[in-house]
Amino acid sequence: MEAVVKKRIKQVIKGDQDAFGEIVELYKNSIYQLCYRMLGNRHEAEDIAQEAFIRAFINIKSFNQDLKFSTWLFRIATNLCIDRMRKKKPDYYLDAEVSGTEGLTMYSQIPSNSPLPESELESLELHDTVQKEILKLPDKYRAAIVLKYIEELSLNEISEILDLPLGTVKTRIHRGREALRQQLRYV
Amino acid sequence: MCPEQIIELMHDFLDEEMNSQNEMVLREHLLSCKECEAIFNELKKTIAFVKSTPSIKAPANFTVDVMNRLPKEKKKVGIQR
Task: Give the mean pLDDT of A142-164.
Answer: 97
The per-residue pLDDT for A119 is: 64
CB pairs under 8 A between A and B: 98
Distance of CA A135 to the CA centre of its chain: 10
The per-residue pLDDT for A177 is: 97
Q: Residue A177 and residue B47: Cβ atoms within 8 Å? A: yes
Q: Residue A24 and residue B11: Cβ atoms within 8 Å? A: no
> Residue B3 pLDDT more than 90?
no
Q: Residue A150 and residue B53: Cβ atoms within 8 Å? A: yes
| Cα–Cα distance, A72 to A63 (Å, whole number) | 8
Task: Give the mean pLDDT of B30-44.
Answer: 95
Kindly report, residue by residue over A9-34, the tens digit of the pLDDT. 999 999 999 999 999 999 999 999 99
* DSSP conformation class of A66: T
Q: Residue A21 and residue B11: Cβ atoms within 8 Å? A: no
> Residue B72 pLDDT more than 90?
no
Distance of CA A75 to the CA centre of its chain: 11
CB A38 within 8 A of CB A142: yes
| Radius of gyration for the alpha carbons in chain A, expressed in angstroms and rounded | 19
| Cα–Cα distance, B1 to A116 (Å, whole number) | 31
How is B25-72 classified by DSSP, letter by letter?
Answer: HHHHHHHH-HHHHHHHHHHHHHHHHHHHSPP-PPPTTHHHHHHHHS--
Mutate one of B18, B70, B72, B75 to test the A interface: name it (highest A CB count within 10 A): B70
Quick one: pLDDT band at residue A118, thresholds 50, 70, 90? low
The per-residue pLDDT for A120 is: 66
> Residue A113 pLDDT more than 60?
no
Task: Give the mean pLDDT of A85-110.
Answer: 49
The per-residue pLDDT for B25 is: 94
Quick one: pLDDT band at residue A98, thresholds 50, 70, 90? very low
The per-residue pLDDT for A106 is: 37
CB neighbours of A126 closer than 8 A, spacing ≥ 6? A103, A107, A116, A187, B49, B52
| Cα–Cα distance, B11 to A129 (Å, whole number) | 23
> Residue A95 pLDDT more than 60?
no
The per-residue pLDDT for A122 is: 75
> Residue A80 pLDDT more than 80?
yes
| Cα–Cα distance, A155 to A147 (Å, whole number) | 9
Q: Residue B63 and residue A155: Cβ atoms within 8 Å? A: no
Please give the helix or strand (H or E) that residue A7 lies within, else none: helix A2-13
Burial label, A148 (beta-carbon count in 10 A; 0-12, 13-18, 19+): buried
% of chain A beyond a pLDDT of 90: 73
> Residue A91 pLDDT more than 70?
no
The per-residue pLDDT for A109 is: 36
- Calculate the average pLDDT of chain A: 86
- How many Å lie between the alpha carbon of B80 and the closest alpha carbon of chain A? 19
- How many Å lie between the alpha carbon of A149 and the closest alpha carbon of chain B? 6
The per-residue pLDDT for B44 is: 97
A131 compared with A125, residue with greater pLDDT: A131
Q: pTM higher than 0.90, yes or no?
A: no
Mutate one of B8, B11, B14, B46 to test the A interface: name it (highest A CB count within 10 A): B46
Distance of CA A21 to the CA centre of its chain: 22
Is the Cβ of A170 closer than 8 Å to some Cβ of chain B? yes
> Residue A93 pLDDT more than 80?
no
